[in-house]
Structure 1
Amino acid sequence: MPRIQAPSVAEHRKRQRRAILDAARAIIAETGEAPSPGAVGARIGLARPSIYQYFPSRDALLDAVVADVFPAWTAHVLDHVAAAATPADRVWAYVEANVALFTGPEQAVAKALRTLVAPAVLQEHSAALHARLREPLIDSLRELGEPDPEHMAELINAAVLRACHDIDADDGSRALRLLDALLRPYLREREQGRR
């Protein structure tokens, strides 16, 4: 039996599971295909039977990747928003974090999952992500004195999506420049109205 490189068996299993999920995610991003347990094992130096100790099938592995990426994407945005000082900064941090997701390497994972996973499953995860991310955006807009924060949040989301989809996916800086031109005057006006 190989040596455990962790303080406990539970920690070892946790680290192995994380390595498997990260490798599967990388393969999905690179190939656009569901990763086989053999390919995942080869990437991290585990035998294929070892992968089956964590995930009994390719489908179970893919389901685990889906269950893992959506919370990670949510945390990425929420952490970015939480680090901002003012309500206007939090709105802009929300925009920046979403543009980074829509135009960065995670977009390859998202695109592949749209072809690999049943639409109903993705819709369920997407709806939960969207609902969770709306809360701090709406709260920030409300703090800025926006009279209709729910609808404004939807408009901001629509602008982010449109900017990211209409512009070369590798050009997040261009999307941010356009969104800055659109949203900064509104954010400045709202911020000044709070003083």
Structure 2
Amino acid sequence: MPRINAATVAEHRARQRRAVLDAARDLLAETGLAPSLAEVGARAGLARSSVYQYVRSRDDLMAEVVADVFPGWADRIRAAIAAAPTPGTRVWAYVESNVAFFSGSEQRVARALGSVVDPAILHGPLQEFHLALQEPLRDALRDLGEPEVDTVADLVDAMLLSATQQIRGTQHGGDADEHRAALAPLRRVLGPYLGLAATD
């Protein structure tokens, strides 16, 4: 009888768990509703009984999605900020990444989670998500020489919320034109302060 490699079993379980979470996230983005475990299994190509190996209930599934998606979103935005070469472009990368978040499928998932998940479950991950993004923004502003870092960081966030208000109010999120329209006034206001060239 062949021996079962523990690492292979672990990798298989990790792939299946990833498939379950990805399926749940995609269904949330599409429908705005918490999917059933049967729906998740069908999307992931797994039997419903297999889904129960990873989550016990729909509520458990939503809690797992919350624990999974917020750190992933924060990591992608932080990576975009870190890749920018100057303090000014790092702040702009923060702006661009957040507009992309507000106009993409992530915002649809976040909106759906806000309507189907207990606020007590969402509170911690939301706070951690916000703090994870504020740290590199404030670091970039300090490196830019800004003397009132906290005030300017709050102003940047307020401008972002204002510029993306229309996008965030739609179920589908923004298309490419709406994305550009949201960025345009932010670029006009922040570009000179950040020292961005007109063609950046």
TM over 0.5, shorter chain: yes
Aligned to 1:188: 195
Q: How does 1:15-30 map to 2 (within 5 A)?
A: 15-30=15-30
Question: Does structure 1 retain, via aligned residues, the 8 Å contact 2:63–2:121?
Answer: no
Determine the C-alpha separation between the residues in 1 that align with 2:58 and 2:135: 35
Determine the C-alpha separation between the residues in 1 that align with 2:48 and 2:147: 57
Determine the C-alpha separation between the residues in 2 that align with 1:160 and 1:57: 36
Give structure 1 regions of 4+ aligned residues with deviation exceeding 3 angstroms.
166-169
Determine the C-alpha separation between the residues in 2 that align with 1:101 and 1:40: 24
Aligned to 1:128: 128
Range with bigger deviation, 136-145 or 122-131: 122-131
Question: Does structure 2 retain, via aligned residues, the 8 Å contact 1:104–1:172?
Answer: no
Aligned to 1:58: 58
Q: How does 1:25-174 map to 2 (within 5 A)?
A: 25-167=25-167, 169-170=173-174, 171-174=178-181
Question: Does structure 1 retain, via aligned residues, the 8 Å contact 2:29–2:105?
Answer: yes
Write the letter of the residue equivalent to 2:10.
Answer: A
Determine the C-alpha separation between the residues in 1 that align with 2:73 and 2:158: 18
Deviations 1:90-109 (A, max 9, x none): 00000000000011111111
Question: What is the TM-score normalised by the length of structure 2?
Answer: 0.88
Matched residue pairs, number? Answer: 186
Determine the C-alpha separation between the residues in 2 that align with 1:16 and 1:83: 32
Determine the C-alpha separation between the residues in 2 that align with 1:134 and 1:30: 29
User: Cα offset for 1:121?
Assistant: 2.5
Q: Say what the alpha-carbon RMSD is for the aligned residues.
A: 1.9
Q: Which runs of 5+ in 1 are unaligned?
A: none
Q: Which runs of 5+ in 2 are unaligned?
A: none
Deviations 1:123-145 (A, max 9, x none): 32111111111111111100111
Determine the C-alpha separation between the residues in 1 that align with 2:110 and 2:78: 18
Question: What is the TM-score normalised by the length of structure 1?
Answer: 0.90
User: Cα offset for 1:7?
Assistant: 6.3
Question: Does structure 2 retain, via aligned residues, the 8 Å contact 1:84–1:93?
Answer: yes
